């Protein structure tokens, strides 16, 4: 009895395994449907005879697959067109940004000097030239001022000396004049006394 049970279990499991393997079907592709139709068709001389309903079923499946493929192709084409538009608009934006960037870089590198746009290097050259000229002019005027100041001091000293000499000359002249007046008065007095 045990052997019978084992044999029954063995046969039962084999039939389940066989059913499972027979139930494993290939994917429902068009190629597999053609193979299945060919396999299920009958032979008549050198021809294969297929059932109408199987042919119509295959035809329907193929037409459905073609519709799905067409819809997919149309949707993918629409998506491609949309992406091309996006690419074009993005490229336009990139070009605009590049031109704006180049303008910004030019503005960053340029400085307006007396209403004239100049590059920073030219502006720096002009600015340092002006500063150098002003420093040279300042040094020149300081030198001239010192020379003038020295000449002025010498002239003032000479003027003071001349004023002293003039004062001395005036005193001497006054003394001389007084002497001459006295002499004149003495002469006048002598002349009056003689008369």
Residue 89: CB atoms within 10 A of its CB come to 10
Low-confidence ranges of the chain (pLDDT < 70): 1-26, 113, 194-195
- Cα 124-127-131 angle, rounded to 5 deg: 135
pLDDT in tens, 156-185: 999 999 999 999 999 999 999 999 888 888
C-alpha to C-alpha distances, 152 to 8, 120, 141, 147, nearest whole angstrom: 144, 46, 16, 8
pLDDT of residue 15: 61
Q: What is the pTM of this model?
A: 0.41
117 bridge partner residues: 112
pLDDT of residue 81: 94
Would 32 be classed as within a structural domain?
A: yes
pLDDT of residue 174: 92
Would 69 be classed as within a structural domain?
A: yes
pLDDT of residue 46: 76
Residue 116: CB atoms within 10 A of its CB come to 11
Q: Specify whether 35 is located in the same domain as 55.
A: yes
Domain boundary among 113, 134, 164: 113
Would 16 be classed as within a structural domain?
A: no
Would 140 be classed as within a structural domain?
A: yes
Structural domain including 104 reads: 28-113
């Amino acid at each position: 009895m045990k052997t019978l049970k084992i044999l029954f279990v063995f046969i039962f499991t084999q039939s389940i395994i066989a059913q499972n393997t027979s139930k494993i079907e290939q994917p429902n592709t068009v190629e597999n449907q053609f193979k299945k139709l060919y396999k299920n068709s009958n032979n008549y001389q050198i021809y294969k005879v297929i059932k109408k309903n199987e042919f119509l079923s295959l035809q329907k499946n193929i037409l459905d697959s073609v519709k799905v493929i067409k819809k997919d192709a149309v949707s993918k084409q629409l998506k491609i067109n949309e992406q091309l538009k996006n690419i074009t608009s993005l490229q336009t934006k990139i070009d605009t940004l590049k031109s704006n960037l180049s303008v910004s870089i030019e503005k960053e590198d340029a400085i307006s000097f007396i209403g004239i746009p100049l590059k920073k290097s030219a502006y720096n050259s002009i600015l340092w030239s002006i500063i150098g000229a002003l420093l040279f002019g300042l040094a020149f005027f300081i030198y001239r001022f010192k020379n003038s100041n020295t000449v002025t001091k010498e002239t003032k000293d000479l003027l003071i000396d001349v004023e002293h000499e003039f004062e001395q000359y005036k005193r001497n002249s006054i003394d001389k004049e007084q002497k001459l007046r006295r002499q004149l008065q003495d002469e006048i007095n002598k002349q009056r006394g003689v008369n």
